[in-house]
Chain A
């Protein structure tokens, strides 16, 4: 069964460093998302991406964040200068479409710890 994959599973970084979180969505999916979950809290929407551009972003997704689909398979989230409060689990998700609000399938997550 096709799955969304994410690498790395864990990342530890120093405050101020740049991190890139990688995702491989399900191959025939067209819509891609990033969410984050601060420890013990709810899952929060960060950004959606379609047709090589951002279709919606939340207030959390400020200038420190960027997304890219560098090739036909990868979808990346870059945090330019990490802060302590960026420590969270980051989930990538993908769906076939949104016309009928297709189901989003989530990857296993990347746990980011900023020291």
Chain B
């Protein structure tokens, strides 16, 4: 059975701090690893990673994948209160790129 595990489960920081969120996976078939941000309702897409060692960046957020060690990290630098959300990691390993196995999420709270 495919498994995705995220750590920590929750994290509280102050504005300006840098955070690293972790995601490890055990899957029978790997297509891609995705990160989503979930505020109140719909998860919104952040990154899709398919190749090891290539960092993807979007503003203060970046992510990288290690396919040998089966993990990914999401970094957020200079955190802001608007970064407070649940960050979800998911593996696309099945018969479709949209059939995802999600981790339980990391709840990030950024205090002013």
Are the chains A and B members of one assembly?
A: no
Chain A contact residues, CB within 8 Å of chain B:
none
Chain B contact residues, CB within 8 Å of chain A:
none
